[in-house]
Chain A
């Protein structure tokens, strides 16, 4: 915590404000900083409820995605020590070396997402398998001693949590903590397991019913790569000696590839482990699911514009692979949209629209009139209606409601047809419109997709699909369109079904025609001499080229044309729809500034062109010149850009004083002597040390009175 006091001393801090008050304050912030303070409360509430919906949705999705992995892990863990508990007397069990069961959990390189997975994992473990779960991180365990300390601390604390009423336990633990070795861990384990056994049935609410007699102790190594080899080896060797007394299970969290196990552990150590591999879903698939469930649905009124979506996806694919960050970015979009767009009050579910539209104030109506998409709409209307729209608020409201409902319908249809189109394009060779539906979505948002070359080529390819593919595609399309509730697509479904029956009829006809078509082939086989063979082949080719289209081909053309017509009708880019600004967030530049910051560039701008941030007219410099009004550090920075790898401090000071003195030319005579003014000298030294602090220069040992530049470029 910081104070505004300059002096050192003791300060009393009141405990931080309660949660509820905090949210009030944010609502307040929403209001007072936004320039148009219209309906801020409502906007804030809408934003919050929308985000909560989305959040719970994403959590549900992630739970489902991880379910398979966690189930596998749980079954592995429950299997791991049961073998030995059941048949310890059997010969093979006596002879076999008792290995430590180990799960190698490959999670992918997006380390930031692992937190969530591990949290879910330890929750599941504690619910189903064992209360004893320890999560170790490499940064806490530089040595085996720290590792043991951390491990025992976590295990014993979790025991205290179970029955916190007993004070004796705490005392015991604090005594034991001094000796952090395996035997004390084992004795602790014995005591806790014995205690749960001897407990009266009434007392054990949750322990023994879900866990067994001796639940395993699970140790999770969060980031296997970062652990030092020695620590891991020592720990494994130690615990393998006590595996009979302490049923230990290890889980290695691996970000790269399971090869790392062999790289970190020699054979003598890895032979103590019984390693099984578990792989989580790839993060790209994870993202696809998230996009599918959050963006390509009409459940949420809020939409992302093309550029914004592109920024988010690019950050994901180019930089971090982190789904969490993607969702965070999405959240930022929501907040930014509701914060900056006063009309976002109307960005709500269809049921609420009517009420909200009719309670709009006059100012808000003016806001609607100012929207570019609305202006375009007005211009298309006849003059009488134009005047009504621009002057009559209640008329405007009626019209707005209608338009918003249209927009909603458009979204529903858009998603269906997009999915249909995706079914088509994803089965084409080379994927001219992209393999993933998100690519297709971006293409459709960007501009009229049917005007692009890729669309043209994919239609060409679609006209060459074989029958079985085409039939399955059509069936999928029918399924997608059937799943919509509205009656919009009844006709389309009917048409597609008709196509399907026609294909089936074709099959019947084709079997009849087959005997006829075989005949030229047969002829070919009869001929033996070369000349005749050539002749017939040429004839065949000729006939094939000029041949009329078969029925199948005709039908195929019809299908593709029909799909094309659907696309042209429903996949109109969103930015051509009226009132799209209300639900679409388009501030890509803002988002990029927040999520993909460029500190180096910002620093350079600040030092090179202080006017950019300070907004002081005096600082405005034209064309590379150095203004002497600029802060000292800016002058020093600009001068240093002109130097090479090593900078002579004396020269630098000369240049600095020249620049600074330029203003005070009136008393230049006084300063004409070689001596630099003490004040200027001090200012220079301060500026240079500030520059050093920022990491641009460092003192050099190569030459006296020189400093080395740490950056390149600039000149």
Chain B
């Protein structure tokens, strides 16, 4: 314990020495465990979790709860050490979406009844909210009582002070307190001092505390440029198809056997594994489509062993689900209703089917003019929109590097005057520059069909960009009988 306190002294020496101090610290306290872990790291087939500090029954229970994550859990246990031992000041855990980071941490801390605070950084979007939430949760930490009083904490130094107070009142000084910050990438958007301070909270508070950051991105994208404490980084790999199979099969419905459900999961993964490895999503899809899978069994057309028949029944259905409900083209409740009524999914149009946008006549032309202005080089306007543009030499007109590249480069900004000039030349009858025309431009901006570039000064000749796609503008142009391809430089 003494040496652990030394961390504070290391901090006082300055940022430069802290890395070494941490190594020193690690070797002091985790020597035995870490060495064990290093040798066993790649070994998936590790036996039961073992740790002298915790009762074996708890560990066995824990192992049942975190399938396919035993090695990570045992690593974490080794780092945590015993309750009263100082742990590593900060741990950074990263891994792809739904690789079990949050779940494992939560299960681990609650099963072993370690004092902890669990905060989602997206939810507490300002530093003040975040700090206050940590303190509030700390109040009810060991006892689990709901009685909390509002805490006011504006700055980090306040936080350190209040944190120490809270530990003292809750009598947590003799064991490690864990602060888990989920979606830690949000911390980067808060004040600059928040992330470095959390990384060395142990030093700052001089208490037995470990901060665990969970994120989907790597540590390199976090690292502040001023020397900060390097956390212990840990990677949660994606679940393999075998892992997914194992985890998903675990929760089978009570009325059916585990084997039957496992066969179903196998088929499901066969269809969806290519596009989706998100465990949550897969479980959701499994629950949605299971009723359909059971249908032949319920009707008595097949028994539970008749895998081939069941497969034939479910496979096209799952493929359809991949195109519709997985993409949220139709909602899951609509999907269930369809299943229930045995309707064809074809009769329900997805969200993407409704691409048609009805616009007033001049808005259509404004949008077309904006599109032309965005994708044609300025010098070609004369050629396209002037009746007697004279002879323009072809070689000069067709600059090779400009051709076909405009659509790849995306829309370019254009001034309002150019938009109006093009509008006047593409509309057949005379358009008066009325207030309605101008307000239509603004409405197009609010509809996100145009976007304003550099909104500094309205008087200064505003500039716009057209944000619609070629397909969209062609559909619009077709409704007003305007052949837009003829006016696009890229397609000449």
Contact = CB atoms under 8 A, between A and B. Distances in A.
Contacts of A109: 357-360, 363, 443, 447
A12 B111 CA distance: 69
A262 B360 contact: no
Interface string B341-360: 00000000101101111111
A99 B332 contact: yes
Given A101-B333, A258-B351, A601-B432, 8 more contacts: A97-B280, A109-B359, A181-B129, A271-B328, A284-B358, A320-B360, A596-B432, A598-B435
A176 to B, nearest CB: 9
Nearest to B458: A695
A97 B284 contact: yes
Contacts of B255: 91
A601 B433 contact: yes
B122 interface: yes
A273 B328 contact: yes
A96 interface: yes
Contacts of B355: 257, 259
B362 A318 contact: yes
A262 B352 contact: yes
Given A179-B150, A315-B436, A601-B432, A234 B447 contact: no
Given A181-B124, A317-B361, A598 B333 contact: no
B126 A261 contact: no
Contacts of B334: 276
Interface string A230-270: 00001001100100000000000001111111100001101
B283 A319 contact: no
A598 B434 contact: yes
A282 B283 contact: no
A319 B360 contact: yes
Contacts of B278: 268, 271
Interface string B446-477: 11110000000001110000000000000000
Interface residues of A, number: 68
Contact of A596 (B358, B421, B434): B434
Interface of B: 97, 120, 122-126, 129, 132-133, 150, 251, 253-255, 278, 280-281, 283-284, 286-288, 290-291, 327-328, 331-334, 349, 351-352, 354-363, 417, 421, 432-437, 439-440, 443, 446-449, 459-461
Contacts of B460: 698, 710
Contact of B432 (A101, A223, A598): A598
A237 B150 CA distance: 25
B5 to A, nearest CB: 35
Contacts of A261: 351
Contacts of A99: 331-332
Contact of A238 (B123, B288, B352): B123
A95 to B, nearest CB: 4
B122 A234 contact: yes
9 contacts: A91-B253, A95-B283, A111-B447, A258-B351, A259-B355, A273-B331, A319-B437, A320-B440, A710-B461
Interface in A180-217: 181-183
B290 A225 contact: no
Contacts of B436: 315, 318-320, 596
Interface in A545-600: 596-600
Contacts of A321: 358-360
A255 B447 contact: yes
Contacts of B286: 95
The 4 closest A-B pairs by CB, nearest first: A95-B287, A97-B284, A91-B253, A319-B436
Contacts of A600: 433
Contact of B356 (A91, A257, A317): A257
A136 interface: no
B446 to A, nearest CB: 6
Given A144-B125, A317-B361, A270 B448 contact: no
A96 B284 contact: yes
B460 to A, nearest CB: 6
B130 to A, nearest CB: 10
Contacts of B125: 144-145, 234
B155 to A, nearest CB: 16
B449 A96 contact: no
Contact of A259 (B290, B352, B421, B433): B352
Could you say which of A91, A145, A237 has the most chain B C-beta atoms within 10 Å of its C-beta? A91
Nearest to A316: B360
A52 interface: no
A329 interface: no
B354 A319 contact: no
Contacts of B327: 267
A104 interface: yes
A360 interface: no
Contacts of B446: 111, 223, 225-226, 255
B105 to A, nearest CB: 15
B435 A599 contact: yes
A384 to B, nearest CB: 52
A206 B96 CA distance: 49
A181 B362 contact: no
Contacts of B283: 95, 97
A685 interface: no
Interface string A97-110: 10101101010110
Contacts of A528: none
Contact of B358 (A95, A283, A695, A698): A283
B376 to A, nearest CB: 19
A575 to B, nearest CB: 25
A318 B255 CA distance: 62
A257 B288 contact: no
A262 B326 CA distance: 13
A225 B357 contact: no
A466 interface: no
B433 A279 contact: no
Given A596-B436, A599-B435, A259 B354 contact: yes
B328 A275 contact: yes
Contacts of A710: 459-461
A254 B286 CA distance: 31
B255 to A, nearest CB: 8
Greatest chain A CB density within 10 A among B123, B351, B459 is at B351
Contacts of A234: 122, 125
Given A234-B122, A274-B333, A598-B435, A319 B440 contact: yes
B434 A258 contact: no
Given A109-B360, A226-B446, A257-B356, A238 B122 contact: yes
A276 B447 contact: no
Contact of A106 (B253, B281, B354, B434): B354
Contacts of B461: 710
Contacts of B352: 258-259, 262
Contact of A225 (B133, B284, B349, B448): B448
Contacts of B459: 695, 698, 710
Contact of A241 (B120, B281, B356, B417): B120
Contacts of B129: 179, 181
Nearest to A175: B150
A212 B356 CA distance: 38
Contacts of A102: 331
Q: Which of B288, B331, B355, B359 has the most CB of A within 10 A?
A: B331
A71 to B, nearest CB: 17
Contact of A95 (B123, B251, B363): B251
